[in-house]
Structure 1
């Protein structure tokens, strides 16, 4: 789930709003990390606050923004019929920070991209834990 922060809106409030708009649920979000995405030849960068939640209320719904799916998040997952997280179908950087998010490890990271559209790839990156 993601989206833009509206003028005069805090990133956490935007995350709560987007979660409800795009997934139909409410959750007590906790700040989990910060990412900075920089693209070669672009004058601005994306600063992204990442949030996580242990619980939620409401029923997860499909919207124009997303089609929700559940995935296995570890080897000890009780739901063994779930497929593992499909990192090969996700953004290249996700494999570096999503495991930190799932393990509840606070993190910061930066990814520098080069190329445009389908030719975009990671040029350099770093991720650290707090």
Structure 2
């Protein structure tokens, strides 16, 4: 694994099953900041004094107006991102998945949320790393991965997926 990044973030993927039985995931079009224009999971920076679980609950509410009980989130792994050509973008992201919340998703200043069928993820509009691990996480698996982005800061130039059992359950 790569060294711990000083920039710690968290991301969540909320899922539901439509009336016709088709599973969906809540993603959002990023409107500001890093990744603007991409479709992303809900999440953001872990603030001083917060743990990842507290931070993701706060971020979900800030970005979508949904309220999630921390106990209703499954910690699904850790993804480390290295941006050698933009070091200040490098970060470690704790990944969560959940299927219980209160409220209806609403657009925020940061994200325009929308439901997407899990079998038709918009991977070509997401960060390039998502194709390597997001389907596994949405299928109930876990991820422990290192991703290095190339000079364009958009394309994964190297990646390594590790045994997710090396992570403690969260």
State TM-score, norm by structure 1: 0.83
2:142 is equivalent to residue 97 of structure 1: no
Bigger Rg, which one: 1
2:130 is equivalent to residue 86 of structure 1: no
How far 1:121 sits from its partner (Å)? Answer: 2.0
Q: Which has the higher strand share?
A: 2
Q: Residues 34-83 of structure 1: CA distance to partner in whole angstroms, max 9, x if unpaired? A: 00001114278311101110221112111111111111113xxxxxxxxx
| RMSD over equivalenced CA pairs, Å | 1.7
Q: Residues 79-116 of structure 1: CA distance to partner in whole angstroms, max 9, x if unpaired? A: xxxxx211111111111111011111011111011214
Structure 1 regions of 5+ residues with no counterpart?
A: 75-83
2:76 is equivalent to residue 32 of structure 1: yes
* Aligned ranges 1:35-46 → 2 under 5 Å: 35-41=79-85, 42=87, 45-46=90-91
Structure 2 regions of 5+ residues with no counterpart?
A: 1-41, 166-170
State TM-score, norm by structure 2: 0.65
